[in-house]
Amino acid sequence: MYRAFAFLLAFFITVVSFAQNIVQNPGFELYSQCPPFLDNLAFCNGWKKPTSATTDYFNSCDSIYVGVPGNHCGYQQASGGNAYAGFMTYEGNWPDYREYLMGHLLNMVAGQYYKVSIKVSLAGNYAYATDGISILLTVDSFYIGNVAVLPQSPQIDFSDYGPVTDTTNWVTLTDTFYADSAYNLITIGCFKEDNLLDMDTVYGQWPEAYYFIDDVEIVPVTLGVAEHEKEKNAPVIYPHPVATSATMTFSNRDKEPFTFRLYDVQGREVMYITDIRTDHIIIDRSALSSGIFFYRLGSDRIRYVGKLMVE
């Protein structure tokens, strides 16, 4: 269902003329040194590890261990060019082990909609596939000296695609994002703990899930006709700004299960309501500080994003 929705959404969104990808080195082509072994993302210009886990960089300049197309993790041609990166979303012998990659953004504009997409392919030597691949956008860089699941809540979550099991082709994961801040950095990885993962068993030998990644893209978009129609039916919040509590009303004629997520300006999830089958929710601000928040509300077919102001 989500794949069909994503396709229709992409069809009705018009990309701003001459829109430029704001991700630096999005195809991992530029590098300072040919990677000699695993745990080498630092050799890829503009990318680094935000944790102490062993995120990898693959380039055709190497012919054996971290090469392209053949390498230690599997076999995959680059989506374009001669390089890609790789990260682990599950480690069967190390609970909640995760690998992430952090890159730089240029000139994100607050208040603008963006189309966000990545291409991933499951590495063929691994026995599992998972969901949970997500993107966290932040203003400031950070580094956490462990290998656990990052505590932040990502703004873009591709979990609705389910576990990506294709080891032959590149699978494009895409979503739209409303920039509530001028973010400078993008962090990609799996933000779900092991007990929350949706997992499939595949044919590899090693008890982990590992993905190659290429063509990271964030481009500004302007909404087309279908999206403007959706905006006419966008949720209504009253009273707004929120002083003590407010009611958010929205269209849900088919009583679909909606999910509501609220994030602060640092991208941290501060409110989560699931299995909403009515056409309204009550937002209690008692646990919220004053300021601007960013919400995501929707089902498999419908998705809204917007701002929430708290006095």
> Residue 130's domain is classified under what CATH number?
2.60.120.260
Are residues 15 and 152 located together in one domain of the fold? yes
> Residue 292's domain is classified under what CATH number?
2.60.40.3080
Are residues 134 and 254 located together in one domain of the fold? no
Are residues 135 and 255 located together in one domain of the fold? no
Mean confidence (pLDDT) of the chain: 87
Indicate whether 210 belongs to any domain: yes
Tell me: the pLDDT tens digits for 123-174?
Answer: 999 999 999 999 999 999 999 999 999 999 899 999 888 899 999 999 999 8
Which amino acid appears at position 233 of this protein? N
Which amino acid appears at position 219 of this protein? V
Are residues 14 and 147 located together in one domain of the fold? yes
Say whether pTM exceeds 0.75.
no
Domain end (from 223, 247, 267): 223
Are residues 264 and 211 located together in one domain of the fold? no
Are residues 37 and 172 located together in one domain of the fold? yes
Indicate whether 71 belongs to any domain: yes
Residues in the chain: 311
Residue 192 tokens read as 């779900």
Angle at 151 between CA 214 and CA 98, to 5 degrees: 45
Indicate whether 228 belongs to any domain: no
First to last CA, the chain: 38
Residue 66 tokens read as 């971290």
Angle at 36 between CA 32 and CA 41, to 5 degrees: 55
Q: CB-based burial of residue 92 (10 Å sphere; 0-12 exposed, 13-18 middle, 19+ buried)?
A: middle
Identify the pLDDT of residue 228.
41
Domain tally, the chain? 2
Confidence of residue 74 (pLDDT cuts 50, 70, 90): very high
Identify the pLDDT of residue 288.
92
Domain end (from 167, 198, 223): 223
Indicate whether 137 belongs to any domain: yes
Are residues 144 and 265 located together in one domain of the fold? no
The parent domain of residue 77 ranges over: 2-223
Are residues 256 and 132 located together in one domain of the fold? no
Are residues 210 and 269 located together in one domain of the fold? no
Q: What is the CA radius of gyration of the chain?
A: 20
C-alpha to C-alpha distance for 131 and 200, rounded to whole angstroms: 9
Q: CB-based burial of residue 136 (10 Å sphere; 0-12 exposed, 13-18 middle, 19+ buried)?
A: buried
Domain end (from 202, 223, 244): 223
Tell me: the pLDDT tens digits for 190-230?
Answer: 999 999 999 999 989 999 999 999 999 999 986 543 444 44
Q: What is the mean pLDDT of residues 227-236?
A: 59
Identify the pLDDT of residue 7.
36
- On the CB side of 264, CA atoms within 13 Å amount to 10
The residues with which 263 forms a beta bridge, in sequence order, are: 269, 294
Dihedral in degrees, nearest 10, Cα atoms 38, 60, 42, 169:
-80
Are residues 254 and 136 located together in one domain of the fold? no
Are residues 75 and 143 located together in one domain of the fold? yes
Q: What is the mean pLDDT of residues 88-100?
A: 97
Are residues 135 and 197 located together in one domain of the fold? yes
